[in-house]
Amino acid sequence: MTGLKIRSGMTRLVPYAFILPPMIYLMVFMFWPLGRQMYMSLTNTRIINPNRGRFVGLGNYERLFEDPAFYLSLKTTLVYAVLAVIFGVALGTISALAIDRPFKGRPIVRAILLFGWAVPNVAASLIWLWMYNDRSGVFNRLTEMLGVGRFGWLTSVDLALPSILATTVWQVAPFVMLVVLAALQSVPQEVREAARIDGADGLSTFRAVTLPHIRPAIQLAALLVCVWSIRRFDIIYLLTGGGPVGTTSTLVVKIRQTAFENHELGMASAYGAIGLVLALAVAAIHYAVEQRRMKWMGR
Amino acid sequence: MLNSPSRRQFLATVAVLAVAFASAVPGIGHAQSKVTIKIANSQWLDALRGKNLWAAIAKYQEVAPNVTLEQVAIPSAEFADKLTTEMGAGQGPDIAIMQEGLFFAMADAGFLVDIGAATEGVKLNKTNDNGMIDGTRYGIAWQRAAYALIYNKPVLEAAGAKVPTTVEELIASAKAASAKTPGVIGFGARHQINDLSGWYMDFQSWAYGYGVNWTDGNGKLTVNTPEAVAAVTAFKQTYASGIIPVGDSMPTQRTRFKEKHVAFSIDNSGGTLNIASGGALASKDIGGAAMPFKNPGAHQQIFLGVSKHSEVQEESIKFLTWLLTEPAQKALREASGPDALATDVPVSDDYAAANPWAPAFVKLAETSRSTLIPGYEVETMQIMRFVMQAVEKVILSDADPKTALDEAQATIDKQF
C-alpha cells in the first residue's frame, strides 16, 4: 500500500521533472535578464558603468514621452511591422498556394522561393545594399534602361522605408510560405473533392474548405512576423542606420543609438520596455482572436 | 623552544628570504616570468597597414623576450561598442588603441590608469596634449591623422582641371574631371547618417574650415551660428551639384579611388595611406593639398591607454615606455605614413618623394583641430548626431540650413 502511494506520488512528480529544465533555462536566460532590464529602465545606468546606476524612478520614461523622436520611432516601428505582416503573409500565402499542386519543376521553384529564408540576414542586407546602390545598383540600372532615371532607394526620405520593407518581405515570405504550405498539405483531399462534387468552384472551395483549415497557420505566421519585425535590427541598421532623416529609425535602432552612442543604458532599457509592451500587445491580440475563434467553433 | 627554531622552520625562513631577494633584484624572478599583453586596435585589420603597424610594435618582443604581444583585432565599426561593453563588464584588452572620443569616455568612466611613468624624460609633442586629463596622463598619442584634399593627378591633368581652393572651384574641377573621363566620380565624401561616427568627423573639417567653434566664449553649445550655416550650405551646394557618389560607403569610395575612379576626396592621412597602398592608382599619382576652405580643418586622433582591468599594468606601461623611444617611433613612422606620432619623427625625404601627397598632411597637422568639442569631449558624438541630422535634412529634403540648425540647437538646449 505504502509502495503504491510512493509510486503514485512519484508519477505525479514526473511532469514537473520534465518541466524543470526548461523552466530553469527560462528563468536564467529570459526572466532574470528581463527583470534586470525592467529595473535598469528605472535607473540612470550608463554602459561604461553598468553597476553604478542610481534609481531615478520613472525619470527615463518621462524623458522618453517628452521626446518627439520617440513618437516618430514608435510610428515607424508600427508602420514597418504592420506592412511587413501584410505583404509578407500575402506573398507567402500566394507562393504556398502556387506550389501546393504538383507541377513540373516544383522542387526547383520551391528551392528558389526558399532562398530568401536560407540566406543570413547580414549577407542578405549586404546583397540588397548593392542592389539599391544609387550609382551601380541593379535597380537603378533597370530604371535607367526604362528611361525613368535613378532613384535614391535608401537615401530618399520617401523610398527608404519601402526599400527596407521590400528586403524584409523577401526574407520573411518564404517562412510564411513554409508554414502555410505545411497546413495546406494537411487539408483532407476528400473534403475538397466533396466540395467539388457539390458544385463548388475553385474560389468557393478555397474560401469554404481550404482557408478555414489554414487560417490558424496564417495567424501564427502573422504573429511571428509581427514580433520579429518589431525587434528587427540587422536589416534596418545595415541598410540605412535609421536614416535618412530618421525615417527608418525604429525602436530597436533607437535602443542601439541610446545605449552605444549616448552610453545611456537605463534610457535604452526604457526603450526596450516599450518594445516589449508592444510585442506583448500583439501577442495578446492574437490570443484574444484565437480564443474568439475557438469559442465560435465550439458553438 | 621559541628561541631554538627547528630545522624545518629554519629552512622555511631561508626560502622566504630567497624569494624576497629574487623578486627585489631586477632580472631575477618576475622579470623572467612570461607575460602576455593584449593590444586592441581596429587597424590590425587594415590590409597592408595593419601588418606593418604590428611588425613595428612586435619588435618589443626582441627587447623584452619574456613578453608576448597579442593582437585583439576588432573591426572599426564595432570597436567602440565592443570595447565599451567589455570594459563595462570589467574585462577587455590590456592596452587599447582608440579614437579620441572613445578615449575620453574610457577615461571619464575611470577605466584607464595613469601612464605618466611611461613619459618621464620623453619630449612629447602637442599630439599628446589631450591625453592629459585633470593633471593625470591617461593616454599617449598613437597617431594623429589630419585631413587634406587628395586628388588623382592623371585624371586632373587629362581634364586640364586645377587643384581647387574654394568649394565652387572644387565643384567645377570635379565636374570637368568626370566629363573628360567617363565613369570617374567627381568627389568622394561621406554623406550618410548610417556612418555617423565617420561622417561627423569628416564634416568637422567643413565646419572648422568655415570658422565654426560649436561653443561660444562661455562654453555654451552653439550650433546655429552664421559660420555653421555657411558650412552646411557649402556642403549642400557640393552634394546638390551631383559630384558625390550618393549611397556609396566610405570603404567603397576609397576602393573606387584606388581603382582610379575618383577625381577628388577629402580624407585623413590614414585613409589616404590606405588608398595609396596596393591599388591600381600608384601612390606617386596621388596629390595632396589644403582643403578648399579659408580656415584649418580637423584631425582624427588615436590614443593608447592602459586598462584598469589589466593584470599586467606594469608591463604594459613598460611597453609604452619602449614605444616612446627613438627606434620604436622610427619603426612606427615607417608604418604610419605621414600621420603625426607622439614624438617628432619627420617623414623621410625618400618617403615624401615616393608619396607626394604626404607633405601636405604633415603641414596641415600643424594647425588642425580635434574633432571633439572642447568641454564636451564625451558627449561630442551625441551632440553631433543632432547637427548631422540637420545636415541630412538640408541635403535630402531641401530644408533651409538656418532653420534645420535652429531646430538642432533647440534639441541640444533641452538636453545639455
Q: What is the pLDDT of residue B24?
A: 45
CB-CB contact of B241 with B175 (8 Å): yes
DSSP string, B139-175: -EEEEEEEEEEEEEHHHHHHHTPPPPSSHHHHHHHHH
CB-CB contact of B288 with B147 (8 Å): no
Determine which helix (DSSP H) or strand (DSSP E) holds B180, and give its type and residue range.
Answer: helix B167-180
**Cα of A244 to nearest chain B Cα, Å:** 7
The H-assigned helical ranges of chain A are: 2-26, 32-40, 59-66, 68-100, 106-118, 121-132, 138-145, 160-184, 189-197, 202-205, 211-230, 234-239, 251-256, 265-298
**Cα of B393 to nearest chain A Cα, Å:** 6
By mean pLDDT, which of A115-119, A166-170, B58-62, B197-201 is the weakest? Answer: A115-119
Query: What's the grid cell of residue A205?
Result: 472551395
Query: What's the grid cell of residue A252?
Result: 530597436
Q: What is the DSSP letter of B222?
A: -
Q: What is the pLDDT of residue B18?
A: 52
Residues 272-331 of B with CB under 8 A from A: none
CB-CB contact of B67 with B60 (8 Å): yes
Mean of all residue pLDDT scores within chain A: 90
Q: Please determine, for residue A8, whether its predicted confidence score (pLDDT) is greater than 80.
A: no
Q: What is the pLDDT of residue B142?
A: 96
For residue A41, the SS3 value is coil
Chain A residues close to B397, C-beta within 8 Å: 157, 245
CB-CB contact of B258 with B279 (8 Å): yes
- Which residue in chain A is spatially nearest to B383 when comparing CA positions? A262
Across the interface, which of B81, B247, B378 has its CB nearest the CB of A260?
Answer: B81
C-alpha angle B79-B80-B82 in degrees, rounded to nearest 5: 65
ipTM topping 0.90:
no
Q: What is the DSSP letter of A53?
A: P
- CA–CA dist A60, B183 (Å, integer): 51
Q: What is the pLDDT of residue B41?
A: 96
- CA–CA dist B230, B40 (Å, integer): 39
Amino acid at A118: A
CB-CB contact of A232 with B74 (8 Å): no
Interface touch B193/A242, C-beta < 8 Å: yes
List, in sequence order, every beta strand (DSSP E) within B61-131: 67-73, 95-99
- CA–CA dist B92, B303 (Å, integer): 16
Interface touch A48/B194, C-beta < 8 Å: no
Tens digit of each residue's pLDDT (9 = 90 or more) over A41-83: 999 998 877 778 899 999 999 999 998 889 999 999 999 999 9
- Which residue in chain A is spatially nearest to B87 when comparing CA positions? A48
Give the mutation candidate from A261, A262, A265, A267 for the B interface (greatest B CB count, under 10 A). Answer: A261
Residues 67-106 of B with CB under 8 A from A: 80-81, 84-85, 87-89, 105-106
C-alpha angle B90-B92-B98 in degrees, rounded to nearest 5: 120
Chain A residues close to B386, C-beta within 8 Å: none
Q: What is the pLDDT of residue A48?
A: 79
The bridge status of strand B95-99 relative to strand B35-41 is parallel
Interface touch A260/B195, C-beta < 8 Å: no
The reported pTM is 0.81
Beta bridge partners of residue B99, listed in sequence order:
B302
- CA–CA dist B103, B255 (Å, integer): 29
Average confidence (pLDDT) over A1-18: 79
Residues of chain B where predicted confidence (pLDDT) is lower than 70: 1-32
The pLDDT-based confidence of A299 (bands split at 50, 70, 90) is: low
The pLDDT-based confidence of A263 (bands split at 50, 70, 90) is: confident
Across the interface, which of B105, B194, B195 has its CB nearest the CB of A48?
Answer: B105
- CA–CA dist B130, B303 (Å, integer): 9
Amino acid at B79: F
- Backbone torsions φ then ψ of A129, nearest 5 degrees: -55, -45
Tens digit of each residue's pLDDT (9 = 90 or more) over A238-262: 999 898 888 999 999 999 999 988 8
Q: Please determine, for residue A139, whether its predicted confidence score (pLDDT) is greater than 90.
A: yes
Q: What is the DSSP letter of A54?
A: P
For residue B255, the SS3 value is helix
Answer whether the bond into residue A22 is a cis peptide, omega within 30°: no
Chain B residues close to A243, C-beta within 8 Å: 192-194, 392
- Which residue in chain B is spatially nearest to A246 when comparing CA positions? B389
The bridge status of strand B286-289 relative to strand B140-152 is antiparallel
* A260 touches B: beta carbon within 8 Å: yes
Q: Roughly what angle, to the nearest 10 degrees, separates helices A160-184 and A68-100?
A: 40
Determine which helix (DSSP H) or strand (DSSP E) holds B303, and give its type and residue range.
Answer: strand B298-306
CB-CB contact of A72 with A253 (8 Å): no
Chain-centre distance for alpha carbon B408: 27
Nearest CA among B157, B206, B200, B193 for reference residue B177: B157
- CA–CA dist B97, B83 (Å, integer): 10
Interface touch B193/A257, C-beta < 8 Å: no
Chain A residues close to B378, C-beta within 8 Å: 263
CB-CB contact of A183 with A213 (8 Å): yes
CB-CB contact of B62 with B5 (8 Å): no
Cα distances from A279 to residues A33, A40, B63, in angstroms, run 17, 19, 59
Q: What is the pLDDT of residue A202?
A: 79
Q: What is the pLDDT of residue A123?
A: 93
Q: What is the DSSP letter of A261?
A: I
Chain A residues close to B247, C-beta within 8 Å: 132-135, 137, 152-155
Nearest CA among A167, A209, A219, A165 for reference residue A187: A209
- CA–CA dist B170, B237 (Å, integer): 11
Q: How many CB atoms lie within 10 A of CB B405?
A: 25
The bridge status of strand B185-188 relative to strand B262-268 is parallel
- Which residue in chain A is spatially nearest to B243 when comparing CA positions? A135
Q: What is the pLDDT of residue A243?
A: 83
* A242 touches B: beta carbon within 8 Å: yes
Interface touch A245/B89, C-beta < 8 Å: no
Query: What's the grid cell of residue A289?
Result: 482572436
Determine which helix (DSSP H) or strand (DSSP E) holds B381, and give its type and residue range.
Answer: helix B380-397
